[in-house]
Structures are given as C-alpha cells and as structure tokens.
Amino acid sequence: MLGLVQNGVGASILTPIISLLIILGAISTAVNIISGIVTRCVNAVERRMDRSAKKAQEHLGRNAVFTAIFTFRAFAIAQFGLMTVVKKGYAYLGYAAFITLFVPFVVHAVATKGKEI
C-alpha cells in the first residue's frame, strides 16, 4: 500500500496518512490479541474457583496480572526479534510435541490394542 501511494498522485499527503493507519492497525491488532488471551486465561482460572463472591472480588486483579504478563511477553519477543524466538522455540517444540502428543498416542494405542484409534 505504501509503495503504491508513494508513487501515485498525492504522495506527500497520503504517505503519512497510510503510515499512521498501518501503525494504528498494528496497535489495534496487538490490543485485541492480548485482550483475547487475557479473557481466556482469566475465565479458565475462574472456572476452577468455587465461590462466586471471590471470583467477582478479585476479577479485576486477575485481569491486571494476566495483562501485565502477556504485554511483557509481547514486548520481550519484540526486543529479541521474532525470528530469534522462533528459531530457538522450534528446536524445543519438536521435543515438546513428542512428549505431549506422540508418546500418549502410542501408550493409548497399546492400552486399547488399537481399537480406539
């Protein structure tokens, strides 16, 4: 988009506007992603709680804690670079998948003698 605007009519006016819209879109997406993961985590924690009075009383605090955690994680990923995180993370992701997916699948298949696969 920015390339088209810079080479077209009204480039001096439209280039800053498009740049600002790209930045606002990135911020909006980040806010929505963090909000979604915070909501899911808080709901998961509150589902395990017994008393509804305690849920309502500490709901805002849990939201603040999870928001701080996920905002810090996003900031850390931005600081270290996504490719570095992906390169290191994928090395361990294979091991994690082996332990959490493959081994239980094989154990279940052996235990049920292949009837429930």
Q: What is the pLDDT of residues 37-86, one digit of tens each?
A: 999 999 998 888 877 777 778 888 999 999 999 999 888 888 877 777 77
Q: Which pLDDT band holds residue 92 (cuts at 50, 70, 90)? A: confident
For residues 61 and 69, give the distance between their C-alpha atoms in angstroms, rounded to a whole number.
12
Q: Quick one: pLDDT at residue 17?
A: 86
Domains of the chain: which residue ranges? Answer: 2-80, 81-117
Secondary structure of residue 51 in the 3-state scheme: coil
Average per-residue pLDDT in the chain?
84
For residues 86 and 107, give the distance between their C-alpha atoms in angstroms, rounded to a whole number.
30
Global confidence as pTM: 0.56
Question: How far is the CA of 77 from the CAs of 5, 25, 90, 94, in angstroms?
Answer: 31, 19, 14, 20
